[in-house]
């Protein structure tokens, strides 16, 4: 069986390497020539731990190739995975133009029966549309079965998550096609749930929105903890021990971001609106997330007696550690808001600036000396290990005011206080 993976972002690259690891012939396809050149020479176009080493190892075999030639890939493969992006439209709905283009190419170049597996996160009924788009573009009436197989991997741990999924969801209207896709995962020890197409599509959105809800809930509780003298991390521990609740995604912080939660939550909300069903929960979880940044900027202003003219050093700009992704990162929102309040900003991130040139109103630091020098406040916004393991004692003397605001509750507050820092965490 030959697999084509069309769209080589985080999900596509991981999917291609995953199936190749399990001995399938894989062709990775993308329209970006730079990306294809990089991949062919063993370089990842993204920062994702472990993936580059696996790519280099696998490229030694001819059964893994990367190409821009979608026509040949469609002709050669029997199973076609669609892994292109589905960014947000202005109205919050998912933009399906890339999915549609791929579907039309499949129809145009189809030379035999194919199974098309949609891994991109798409609204309910999209897979049915994909089937229509393929059939409308066909030059000959070949059979095509569309299967939904949503992806649950996280950036930063993409390879581990792909190899150790909690579950595999397969949505299909044709039992035989579902079995073929199921067989692709036979090496994994994970429960496999087969559903209708539309159910699988909704499972993905519901899962992402639920995880975002958990974070927004604990973040709202954190604000209450601030006023009650209660430590939110202990509350999370206490409730997380209840198996019905669970401990994960209850880490209070400056808020959730990234390329998935914001767009998927907004797409789900759009789905409610398009069906004229009022959602009370989704606007609330979005509102808590949006105001979390404002709430902690206010706390910062209170403690520094205003931020106008103060030097604030931001640690971390990625939306979470172990990724170079800054899409919808809360750190960017913080920088923009503090800039509007006339704060003087410095920023350091161990990975992002090595890969991207960002247009932000802040001085980019190369060293920790630069970060701490004459700073009135360190604002930690991404919990990179480098910051957790930093020798904080070695830099305190460089600061004008030794104040730390820990936007990820990642640091050891009591130790920092012993060193002489004023430490303020989220809901601490
Ligand atoms: C998320 C989902 O976790 C994946 O299951 C899904 O496959 C993926 O979206 C997707 O749809 O492609 P990802 O966006 O990579 O994965 O990142 P997460 O690890 O979920 O973190 C999202 C945000 O929530 C980050 O900003 C993170 O810092 C924040 N977060 C996470 C918290 O503030 N607290 C937590 O306890 C957990």
Residue having the nearest C-alpha atom to atom 30 of ligand 1: 256
- Residue 260 is a catalytic residue: yes
If you measure from the C-alpha of residue 119 to the centroid of ligand 1, how many angstroms do you get, rounded to a whole number?
Answer: 17
Q: Which helix (H) or strand (E) holds 224?
A: helix 197-228
Query: What pLDDT is attached to residue 384?
Result: 98
Order of strands, sheet of 144-148, starting from the edge strand that comes earlier in the sequence: 64-67, 25-29, 2-6, 79-82, 114-118, 144-148, 168-171, 192-195
Query: What pLDDT is attached to residue 85?
Result: 96
Largest CA distance in the chain: 75
Task: Please give the Cα distance from 355 to 318 (Å, whole number).
Answer: 11
Residue having the nearest C-alpha atom to atom 1 of ligand 1: 154
Residue whose token pair is 């206080």? 417
Closest approach atom of ligand 1 to CA 219: 33
Whole-Å CA distances, 282 to 50, 200, 219, 254, 268 = 35, 20, 15, 18, 8
pLDDT digits (tens, 9 = 90+) for 283-303: 999 999 999 999 999 999 999
CB 235 within 8 A of CB 246: no
Can you give the length of the chain in residues?
428
Which are the contacts of 81, defined by CB distance < 8 A and separation ≥ 6? Answer: 3, 4, 5, 6, 12, 15, 117, 119, 149
If you measure from the C-alpha of residue 257 to the centroid of ligand 1, how many angstroms do you get, rounded to a whole number?
Answer: 7
pLDDT digits (tens, 9 = 90+) for 53-71: 999 999 999 999 999 999 9
**Which residues does residue 66 pair with via DSSP β-bridges, in sequence order?**
28
Query: What pLDDT is attached to residue 118?
Result: 98
Residue having the nearest C-alpha atom to atom 28 of ligand 1: 320
- Look at strands 25-29 and 64-67 and give their pairing: parallel
Return the closest-CA partner of residue 208 out of 265, 148, 151.
Answer: 265
- Which residue among 156, 256, 317 has the greatest number of ligand 1 atoms within 8 angstroms of its CB, and so is best to mutate? 256
- Which residue among 202, 215, 246 has the greatest number of ligand 1 atoms within 8 angstroms of its CB, and so is best to mutate? 215
Closest approach atom of ligand 1 to CA 156: 15
What SS3 state is found at 78?
A: coil
What SS3 state is found at 122?
A: coil
CB 164 within 8 A of CB 14: no
If you measure from the C-alpha of residue 45 to the centroid of ligand 1, how many angstroms do you get, rounded to a whole number?
Answer: 21
- Which residue among 18, 87, 154 has the greatest number of ligand 1 atoms within 8 angstroms of its CB, and so is best to mutate? 154
Residues within a 6 A CB radius of ligand 1:
121, 151-155, 208, 211, 215, 249-251, 253, 256-258, 260-261, 264, 319-320
334 token code pair: 């913080």
DSSP 15-63: HHHHHHHTT-EEEEE-S-HHHHHHHHTT--SS--TTHHHHHHHHTTSTT
pLDDT in tens, the chain (428 residues): 899 999 999 999 999 999 999 999 999 999 999 999 999 999 999 999 899 999 999 999 999 999 999 999 999 999 999 999 999 999 999 999 999 999 999 999 999 999 999 999 999 999 999 999 999 999 999 999 999 999 999 999 999 999 999 999 999 999 999 999 999 999 999 999 999 999 999 999 999 999 999 999 999 999 999 999 999 999 999 999 999 999 999 999 999 999 999 999 999 999 999 999 999 999 999 999 999 999 999 999 999 999 999 999 999 999 999 999 999 999 999 999 999 999 999 999 999 999 999 999 999 999 999 999 999 999 999 999 999 999 999 999 999 999 999 999 999 999 999 999 999 999 99
Task: Please give the Cα distance from 200 to 207 (Å, whole number).
Answer: 11
Task: Please give the Cα distance from 353 to 350 (Å, whole number).
Answer: 8
Query: What pLDDT is attached to residue 336?
Result: 98
Whole-Å CA distances, 128 to 5, 72, 100, 105, 109 = 20, 25, 12, 16, 19
If you measure from the C-alpha of residue 154 to the centroid of ligand 1, how many angstroms do you get, rounded to a whole number?
Answer: 6
pLDDT digits (tens, 9 = 90+) for 318-328: 999 999 999 99
Q: Within a 10 A sphere around the Cβ of 306, how many other Cβ atoms? A: 12
- 12 φ/ψ angles, rounded to the nearest 5 degrees: -65, -45
Query: What pLDDT is attached to residue 358?
Result: 94
- Spot the catalytic one: 127, 225, 260, 365: 260
Closest approach atom of ligand 1 to CA 248: 36
Task: Please give the Cα distance from 76 to 3 (Å, whole number).
Answer: 8
CB 379 within 8 A of CB 407: yes
Closest approach atom of ligand 1 to CA 157: 15
If you measure from the C-alpha of residue 263 to the centroid of ligand 1, how many angstroms do you get, rounded to a whole number?
Answer: 12
**Which residues does residue 264 pair with via DSSP β-bridges, in sequence order?**
none
- Ranges assigned E (strand) in 275-421: 311-315, 344-348, 363-364, 377-380, 403-406
If you measure from the C-alpha of residue 167 to the centroid of ligand 1, how many angstroms do you get, rounded to a whole number?
Answer: 17
């Amino acid at each position: 069986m030959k697999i084509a993976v069309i769209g080589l972002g985080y999900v596509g690259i991981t999917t291609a390497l995953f199936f190749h690891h399990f001995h399938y012939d894989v062709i990775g396809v993308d329209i970006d020539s730079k990306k294809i050149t990089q991949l062919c020479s063993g370089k990842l176009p993204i920062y994702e731990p472990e993936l580059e080493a696996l790519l280099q190892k696998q490229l030694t075999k001819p059964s893994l190739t990367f190409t821009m030639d979608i026509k040949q890939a469609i002709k050669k493969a029997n199973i076609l995975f669609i892994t292109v992006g589905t960014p947000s439209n202005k109205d919050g709905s998912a933009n399906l133009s890339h999915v549609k283009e791929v579907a039309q190419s499949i129809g145009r170049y189809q030379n035999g029966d194919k199974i098309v597996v949609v891994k991109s996160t798409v609204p309910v009924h999209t897979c049915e549309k994909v089937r229509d788009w393929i059939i409308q573009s066909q030059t000959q009436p070949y059979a095509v079965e569309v299967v939904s197989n949503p992806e649950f991997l996280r950036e930063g741990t993409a390879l581990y998550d792909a190899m150790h999924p909690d579950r595999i969801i397969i949505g299909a209207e044709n039992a035989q096609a579902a079995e073929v896709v199921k067989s692709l995962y036979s090496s994994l020890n994970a429960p496999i749930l087969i559903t209708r197409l539309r159910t699988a599509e909704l499972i993905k959105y519901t899962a992402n929105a639920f995880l975002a809800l958990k974070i927004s809930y604990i973040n709202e509780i954190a604000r209450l903890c601030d006023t009650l003298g209660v430590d939110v991390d202990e509350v999370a521990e206490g409730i997380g021990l209840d198996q019905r609740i669970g401990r994960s995604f209850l880490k209070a912080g400056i808020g959730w971001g990234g390329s998935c939660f914001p767009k998927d939550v907004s797409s789900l909300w759009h789905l409610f609106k398009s069906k004229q069903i009022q959602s009370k929960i989704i606007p609330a979880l979005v509102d808590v997330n949006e105001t979390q940044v404002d709430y902690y900027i206010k706390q910062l202003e209170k403690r520094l007696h205003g931020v106008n003219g103060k030097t604030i050093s931001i640690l971390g700009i990625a939306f979470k550690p172990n990724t170079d992704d800054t899409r919808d990162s809360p750190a960017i929102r913080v920088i923009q808001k503090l800039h509007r309040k006339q704060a003087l900003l410095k920023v350091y991130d161990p990975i992002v600036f090595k890969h991207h040139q960002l247009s932000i109103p802040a001085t980019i630091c190369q060293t920790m000396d630069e970060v701490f020098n004459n700073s009135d406040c360190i604002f930690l916004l991404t919990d990179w290990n480098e910051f957790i393991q930093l020798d904080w004692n070695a830099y305190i003397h460089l600061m004008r005011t030794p104040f730390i605001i820990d936007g990820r509750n990642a640091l050891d507050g009591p130790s920092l206080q012993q060193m002489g820092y004023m430490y303020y965490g989220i809901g601490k």
